[in-house]
A and B are shown apart, each in its own frame.
Chain A
Amino acid sequence: MDVKEPPKVDGAKESLPLLKTEELLLNLGPQHPSTHGVLKVLLTLEGEKVIKSVPVLGFLHRGVEKIAETITYNQFIPHTDRLDYVCAMYNNFAYVRAVEKLLGITIPERSEYLRTIVAEVQRIIGHLFWLGTQALDIGAMTVFFFTFREREYLLDLFDELCGARLTTSWYRVGGVERDFTPKIIDDLYKFLEDFPSKIDEYNTLLLNNRIWLGRTKDIAVISGEDAVAFGLSGPTLRGSGVDYDLRKLSPYGAYDKVEWTVPLGTKGDTYDRYWIRIEEMKESSKIIKQCLDQLPEGDYIAYLPQIVVPPKDRVFTDMESMIYQFKLFTDGFRAPEGDIYCGTEAHKGELGFYIVSQGEGKPYRLKIRSPSFIHMGAFDHMAKGYMIADMITIFGTYDIVMGECDR
């Protein structure tokens, strides 16, 4: 084998004294526990330094976009649970919002508030999951137990709400599946009282932790300009100081009726993205608190019998409702001809649905714009020049979930 000088890599940490090394090809994954599913990356190494990385995707490809073309709009809701399987509620939300935009319907105000509250609870769960696994990947195990304690509490609320912890399917086109019980509201208030002290707990474990700081500061730096050109979104984009949050840009739900701010980073490194997620959890709890205080009375689902399944007691007593119910479960509702794109700010980034309708009960084409997939496009750019051990941090900092990436 020919031995040659290692190339100088820009953007790396200060280089070690040059040794004679040879290039090495390393397969990271697909069965590595830190790859958050089944992701394989081909790393070209000079010593321990990565000079090129090629993500190999598709191990979890299930053809969801093809399936969508064969089933009705309502039948696709459970499939969205399986996209980002740790945060199903936000996928449901993004999908039903896209279909509602296509149909051009508005939903009752109470249902907007319920949606916002649950979406923000899901955001907290997502960030807690991220924080626990990111710390675990880096080597801090305790944080994982602490964050999963709160996560379990919130997942139990989901269980109370819709009977499932992870694959929820609680959102419906036109509203939500069922209303909050008084217990959920009480438990949420209780949670919000304690939560700030819990965040401080995580921070005491991490903020002065030399290993945490050493492995997150100045790792995987991306400038704002590059982040925009790569199409990154969510905390990964805001960590680079770009103010792009769809909840502020094109407000949906009840986001424009409550007060909150968008935290922005400055350097665009892993530490900034960690800080943003911590701040977002605080903002989310603010949003939930205000929404619970303002929660209006009213219906939780719109009465649109041609689109929304009529209530069960009406189906048994009222002929028309029974016909509508039959039509909805056999043919589905017909969406007008046209195509729309609707993006929603999930906790990972912009989750969007592009739907082409030809006036039938099924989408003619449904494209999912998943943040994880687009973030993997920037992986090589962000990983160049760092050590192998940092690769794990970089997967983590995207908060990647392969179910959504491969679809």
Chain B
Amino acid sequence: MSQEPPDKTQETPNKPVEEPKKVPPPPPKPPPLKVSGEEHPIARKVRDAFPGGYISATLFRADISIEIKKEDLFSICLLLRDDPELDFDYPVHISSVDYLREKVRFEVVYEFFSIKKKHQVRIKTRVTEDDCVVDSVTPIWKGANYLEREVYDMMGIRFNNHPDLKRILLPDDYEEGYPLRKNFPVQGRGWRDTFDFPH
């Protein structure tokens, strides 16, 4: 590899300093929608306690979301509830998202609220399709029981140590799959395939 020497011919030694052109200041940019939430006190606390399990934090519409590794989910949730500064005692919802085109396909989303401290946090963790198992947080919040059963029913993500993991909204003998997965057809599977839906 031959590197060309920098062209110095154009530089004159005593070039008069040009005055910078007066450019009108650009209009103020709107703040970015998703700002990094790394410095958010809750995110900092989680990162300090679990540097290995913490991945990232974002702030969107003033809601803090923290992405973590699924191995540390249970211990982080325990920290969220038991740390007196965090004190997340109220499970708001547990949900799941299917990113069909991505490598790590499923995301489990937990939203917690602290009634005393009046703050919110969203915890996200990714699981692959081959190994879609996360630890259950039912031992920490009793209300997680039904919410996790719904996630299992709709998305097929299993929960370790769950007391009673079975379908909740669909019948127990439903064998057509998990309806909220993106590759599940809207009209359903099985005998519903024979319906003549206009497409």
Do chains A and B stick together as partners? yes
Q: Which residues of A contact B (CB under 8 A)?
A: 57-58, 61, 63, 65-67, 70, 101-102, 104, 226, 228-232, 242-244, 249, 336-341, 343, 350, 352, 354, 356, 364-365, 367, 369, 373-374, 376-378, 381, 406-407
The stretch that binds A, out of B18-26, B68-76, B144-152, is B144-152
Which B residues lie within 8 Å of A70 (CB)?
186
Are the CB atoms of B90 and A364 closer together than 8 Å?
no
Interface residues of B in 153-189 (CB under 8 A from A): 154, 167-171, 179-180, 184, 186
A99–B122 Cα distance when bound, in Å, is 18
Are the CB atoms of B142 and A381 closer together than 8 Å?
yes
Are the CB atoms of A367 and B61 closer together than 8 Å?
no
Are the CB atoms of B145 and A377 closer together than 8 Å?
yes
Are the CB atoms of B143 and A231 closer together than 8 Å?
yes
A57–B63 Cα distance when bound, in Å, is 32
Which A residues lie within 8 Å of B143 (CB)?
229-232, 374, 377-378
Given contacts A337-B33, A341-B122, contact A354 B169 (CB under 8 A): no
Give the interface centre of B120, B169, B186 by most chain A CB atoms within 10 Å: B169
A341–B142 Cα distance when bound, in Å, is 21
Are the CB atoms of B179 and A374 closer together than 8 Å?
no
Which B residues lie within 8 Å of A367 (CB)?
93, 95
Are the CB atoms of B147 and A374 closer together than 8 Å?
yes
Are the CB atoms of A229 and B63 closer together than 8 Å?
no
Which B residues lie within 8 Å of A337 (CB)?
33-34
Q: Please list the 9 inter-chain residue pairs (A to B) with the smallest Cβ-Cβ separation, ordered nearest first.
A: A231-B143, A377-B146, A58-B169, A369-B93, A367-B95, A230-B143, A338-B60, A61-B169, A231-B91
Are the CB atoms of B168 and A228 closer together than 8 Å?
no
In the complex formed, the residue of B with least CB distance to A376 is B146
Q: A230-B143, A341-B93, A373-B146 are in contact. List 6 more A-B contacts (CB 8 A).
A: A66-B179, A67-B186, A229-B142, A369-B93, A377-B143, A406-B169
A354–B180 Cα distance when bound, in Å, is 15
A350–B65 Cα distance when bound, in Å, is 20
Q: Report the minimum CB–CB distance from B34 to chain A (whole Å).
A: 6
Interface residues of B in 109-146 (CB under 8 A from A): 109, 111, 115, 118, 120, 122, 141-143, 145-146
Q: Does B77 count as interface, using CB distance less than 8 angstroms? A: no
Given contacts A63-B179, A228-B89, A230-B143, contact A242 B115 (CB under 8 A): yes
Are the CB atoms of B169 and A57 closer together than 8 Å?
yes
Given contacts A102-B61, A340-B63, contact A58 B93 (CB under 8 A): no
Are the CB atoms of A226 and B142 closer together than 8 Å?
yes
Q: Report the minimum CB–CB distance from B95 to chain A (whole Å).
A: 4
Which B residues lie within 8 Å of A57 (CB)?
168-169
Which A residues lie within 8 Å of B78 (CB)?
none
Which B residues lie within 8 Å of A66 (CB)?
179-180, 184, 186
Given contacts A354-B109, A367-B95, A378-B143, contact A228 B63 (CB under 8 A): no
Total A-B contacts with CB atoms under 8 angstroms apart? 99
Are the CB atoms of B61 and A101 closer together than 8 Å?
yes
Which B residues lie within 8 Å of A242 (CB)?
115
Are the CB atoms of B154 and A354 closer together than 8 Å?
no
In the complex formed, the residue of B with least CB distance to A341 is B111
Are the CB atoms of A231 and B61 closer together than 8 Å?
no
Q: Does B46 count as interface, using CB distance less than 8 angstroms? A: no
Which B residues lie within 8 Å of A343 (CB)?
92
Q: Report the minimum CB–CB distance from A136 to chain B (whole Å).
A: 28
In the complex formed, the residue of B with least CB distance to A60 is B169
- The answer, among B63, B92, B122, for a CB contact under 8 Å with A350, is B92
Which A residues lie within 8 Å of B169 (CB)?
57-58, 61, 406-407
Q: Report the minimum CB–CB distance from B63 to chain A (whole Å).
A: 6
Could you list 15 examples of A-B contacts with CB < 8 Å?
A: A58-B168, A58-B169, A61-B169, A66-B180, A70-B186, A104-B61, A229-B141, A230-B143, A231-B90, A231-B141, A338-B34, A339-B109, A365-B180, A369-B92, A377-B146
- The answer, among B91, B115, B167, B179, for a CB contact under 8 Å with A244, is B115
Q: Does B104 count as interface, using CB distance less than 8 angstroms? A: no
A166–B150 Cα distance when bound, in Å, is 28
Given contacts A66-B186, A229-B141, A374-B147, contact A341 B90 (CB under 8 A): no
Given contacts A57-B168, A367-B95, A406-B169, contact A374 B90 (CB under 8 A): no
Q: Report the minimum CB–CB distance from A401 to chain B (whole Å).
A: 15
Which B residues lie within 8 Å of A63 (CB)?
179
A243–B65 Cα distance when bound, in Å, is 25
Are the CB atoms of A339 and B179 closer together than 8 Å?
no
Are the CB atoms of B115 and A338 closer together than 8 Å?
no
Which A residues lie within 8 Å of B79 (CB)?
none
In the complex formed, the residue of B with least CB distance to A226 is B142
- The answer, among A230, A341, A406, for a CB contact under 8 Å with B63, is A341
Are the CB atoms of B145 and A336 closer together than 8 Å?
no
Are the CB atoms of B95 and A354 closer together than 8 Å?
yes
